[in-house]
Structure 1
Amino acid sequence: MTNPVIFDGHNDVLLKLHRAGGLAASESFFSGRKGAIDMPSAVAGGFGGGFFAVYVPSPTDLDFKFEEMSKASYDLPLPEPIDWEDAFPVVMAQAAVLFDLEKRGALKVCRTAADLRATLGSGKMAAIFHIEGAEAIDAELNTLEVLYQAGLRSIGPVWSRPTIFGHGVPFRYPSTADIGPGLTDHGLRLVKRCDELGIMVDLSHLNEAGFWDVARHSTKPLVATHSNAHAICPHSRNLTDKQLAAIRESDGMVGLNFAVAFLRDDGRMLAEVPLEQMLRHLDHLIEHLGEDRVGLGSDYDGAIVPEALTSCAGLPQLRQAMTNHGYNDALMTKLCHGNWMRVLEKTWGQ
C-alpha cells in the first residue's frame, strides 16, 4: 500500500546529510543512503514529503544517551545552551543542503498551501523548511525575517535545551512536562512575530509551561509536529489529555512520533515495538482531538523507530496495519496527509 501518499510532520535528514559532508553528500539522497529517507525509499513507501528540520546538535554522547533511555527509568539533564554565533553557521549549512536538493529536483520547498497541494504526489517531495530549536534566531528577530524570506515556515522555539526564547524538555521517564518555566519575554515576541508572518510555532519540545504560554498568546492553531499521548506513555515529551483538549479547541493537530521511547508504555528506547502500539496512540489522539486533527510525525533520521519502519520504504506496512485496524479510506487520507494540508492552510492563511 503506497496510497494515500504520506506527508510527515518531522524528519532530521538534513542533519544526517550535513554530518556526512553537506552538499557533497547530496548525491546519496538520490542513489540510496544509510538512513530513513531518500528518493528510492520514498518511491517504495509512498512518502510524499514533510517538515525538513534544520537542527543544531549538542555535543552529546549518543551511545550513553540511548543506553540510559533503554533503562526502566531515566532523567537525562538538559544540554547546555548554544550561542547564536555557533548555531547560525550550522543552520545556514543545513539550509544550503535543503536548497541544493531542491535545485537538483528531489524536492520543492513549499512556502504556501497552494505549493503543498501542487507538489504532493507530483514525483518531487513537498518540503517545509523547519527549524528545531531557535538558537540561530537573534533577540531582535532579524534572522527570523531573513529566513522567512528564504522559505522558513515552521519553527520550534526550543529543542531539549534552553534558548533565549524558552526552556526545553529533558529526556525523562516517568515524568510530566510540568518541569520548569515557560517562554521568556523574547519567546513571547517570537510567537507574536511568527503569527504575523505566518510561521507555524511547533510545540513538540516545549515543556508544559511553554505550551500554555503559546496557547495564551498565539492566535493560530496549536500544533505539535511529533508528539504522543502521555496517558499511554508517561514521558516528559508526550502530551497530556488536558493539552490535547487545548489543541482541539484551537483546531490544531498532533503528528504521531515514531520514536520508540515515546511510544512504549515503559518509555524505553528499544526498537521492539509492534505497529499495534502505534495504533493505540493514534486511537487515543483521534478520541481526544477528532479525526481532523491527527497526522504522522515520524522523527525519521533522528530517532530509533519500530523495527518494521526503519526506513520510509516500510510505510506500506503502517498503512496496512491502519486499514486492518478499521480506519476507512476517508480517515486514512486525513491521517496520511489531509490534516496537515488543512492546518497549514489555516496557519499560513494561504
Structure 2
Amino acid sequence: MTDTAPHLVPVFDGHNDTLLSLERRSNTPKERSFFEAANYDHIDLPRARQGGFAGGLFAMFTPSQLKKPKEGEERDFSSPENFVSITQSSAFDYTMKLADIAYEVEATSDGEVRICRSTSDIKSAMADDKLAMMLHVEGAECIDKDFEALELLYNRGLRSLGPVWSRETIFGHGVPMQYEQTPDIGPGLTDLGKELVRQCNQRRIQLDVSHLNEKGFWDLARITDNPIVASHSNVYSICPVSRNLTNKQLDAIAESKGLVGINFAVFFLRPDGRMDPDMPLDVILRHADHLINKLGEDGVAIGSDYDGCLVANDIKDVTGLPKLIEAFRKADFGEELIAKIAHKNWISVLERAGI
C-alpha cells in the first residue's frame, strides 16, 4: 500500500462483509475487483489506501438467501427470508468459498495484501504498509457438532468467530435487529454452544458476542478465559436496538478487559432507530464517549460493518474514515486515544486472547 497518504491514522477494523460482497458480485455484469476503485459498496484496495484502512477482521458470513441484491439495493434484514435456517454442509461450503476469495485476493495482490494468523503478522503487515486481513466467521452454522470443521477452518486461517448471527443455530440464539426491543430474547447457549466456547479457547480463536442474545452472552462470559469482544456493536442506552449492548453487558466486557468495536450502521447508532444515512458524526462520538466511560480508553475500537450495512453519508465508504478521525480530534480525544481506537486496541485485545 505504498501510496497511502503518510498523514493518515491507520485503521484496523473489527468487522466488514467485503468477502461476501466480492462473492455476490462475482460473475455478474458489475463483477467486483478488490483492486479497482468502485463507486458502490465500501471497501476495495484503492479506496483503502485513500482512507487509511490498514486491514481488519474480514467476515465469512453465509446469508440465508444467496441471491445477489440488485444494484444500489440495501439488504432488508427485517425480512423473514433472511432468517431461514441453513444446513451445516451448505454453510461450510460457502464459508470455504469465501476463504478461497480471501486467498485469491492475497495471491493476486502483488504482495499488497497479507492474510494474518497472529497479531505479530498484523503488526508486520502494517509496518510494511500492507493490508492486513484476518479471517472471522460470523455465525457458526458452518461448524459441525464434532468440531471437525472448526479445526479445518483454523488451519485455513480462522482466528475469530461469532457463535451466531441473528438466527438460531445448534449453538445458541441470535438477537433480531429490532428497535425498542432488548437483547434479552430467547434461551442461552446450548450444550454444544458452551463446548464451542471451550473449543475456541483451546485453539485461541477469539469469540465475538455481537449478534448473541443476552442469555447467551452471560453463558459465554461465565465460560470463556479470554477477553469478551463485541466486534461490531453499539450502546443500547443510546440506541435501543436489540443488537446493542446494555450497560450491564458493558460492565462485564470491561471486567474481562475486553473490547467493543463501534458499528457504523445508522440503525444501530441513531437514537430514533431510523434507516436514514443523513446522520451527523456527533452520533458516533456520543456512542464512543459512553463506551470510553464504561470500558476505559483500552476497550473501544472500530467495527465498521462496511459492506454489510447502511452507513452515514459522511463516512459512506473507507475514504470517509479520515472524517471520523478528524471528528475525534475536534472532540479533543487526543492523538494517543485516537490511535488506540483506530488500531492499537484491536491489536492489544487479540494479543490478550493469545492470537
| Letter of the structure 2 residue corresponding to residue 118 of structure 1 | S
Equivalent in 151, 154, 158 of residue 152 of structure 1: 158
Report the count of equivalent residues. 344
Other structure's SS at 2:12 match: strand
**RMSD of aligned residue pairs (Cα, Å):** 2.3
Deviation at 1:23, TM superposition (A): 12
- 1:297-316 mapped onto 2 (5 Å cutoff): 297-316=303-322
Normalising by structure 1, report the TM-score. Answer: 0.93
In structure 2, what is the equivalent of residue 183 of structure 1?
A: 189
Structure 1 residues 217-226 or 265-274, which shifts more? 265-274
Deviation at 1:270, TM superposition (A): 1.2
- 1:1-350 mapped onto 2 (5 Å cutoff): 3-21=8-26, 28-33=33-38, 34-59=40-65, 79-105=83-109, 106-347=112-353, 349-350=354-355
Asked whether the equivalents of residues 50 and 126 of structure 1 are also in contact (C-alpha less than 8 Å), the reply is yes
Deviation at 1:67, TM superposition (A): 9.6
Deviations 1:64-97 (A, max 9, x none): x96988xxxx896971211112212111111100
In structure 2, do the counterparts of structure 1 residues 52 and 163 end up closer, same or farther at CA, with 3 Å as the change threshold? same
In structure 2, do the counterparts of structure 1 residues 326 and 273 end up closer, same or farther at CA, with 3 Å as the change threshold? same
Deviation at 1:107, TM superposition (A): 1.6
Instruction: In structure 2, list runs of 5 or more residues that go unmatched.
Output: none
Deviation at 1:122, TM superposition (A): 2.6
Deviations 1:235-257 (A, max 9, x none): 00000000000000000000000
Normalising by structure 2, report the TM-score. Answer: 0.92
Deviations 1:145-198 (A, max 9, x none): 111011100001110101111111111111110011111111011000100100
- Whole-Å separation in 2 of the counterparts to 1:38 and 1:315: 14
- Whole-Å separation in 1 of the counterparts to 2:90 and 2:265: 28
Asked whether the equivalents of residues 155 and 200 of structure 1 are also in contact (C-alpha less than 8 Å), the reply is yes
Asked whether the equivalents of residues 22 and 97 of structure 1 are also in contact (C-alpha less than 8 Å), the reply is no
Asked whether the equivalents of residues 74 and 309 of structure 2 are also in contact (C-alpha less than 8 Å), the reply is no
Asked whether the equivalents of residues 22 and 32 of structure 2 are also in contact (C-alpha less than 8 Å), the reply is no
- Whole-Å separation in 1 of the counterparts to 2:46 and 2:83: 35
- Whole-Å separation in 2 of the counterparts to 1:25 and 1:194: 38
| Letter of the structure 2 residue corresponding to residue 5 of structure 1 | P
- Whole-Å separation in 2 of the counterparts to 1:143 and 1:135: 10
Deviation at 1:324, TM superposition (A): 0.4
% identical aligned pairs: 47
In structure 2, do the counterparts of structure 1 residues 101 and 303 end up closer, same or farther at CA, with 3 Å as the change threshold? same
Bigger relative CO (Cα 8 Å, ≥ 6 apart): 1
Deviations 1:125-156 (A, max 9, x none): 11110010111110000000111011100001
In structure 2, do the counterparts of structure 1 residues 168 and 36 end up closer, same or farther at CA, with 3 Å as the change threshold? same
Asked whether the equivalents of residues 168 and 205 of structure 1 are also in contact (C-alpha less than 8 Å), the reply is yes
- Whole-Å separation in 2 of the counterparts to 1:332 and 1:112: 23
- Whole-Å separation in 2 of the counterparts to 1:112 and 1:23: 35
Deviation at 1:275, TM superposition (A): 0.3
Asked whether the equivalents of residues 145 and 192 of structure 2 are also in contact (C-alpha less than 8 Å), the reply is yes
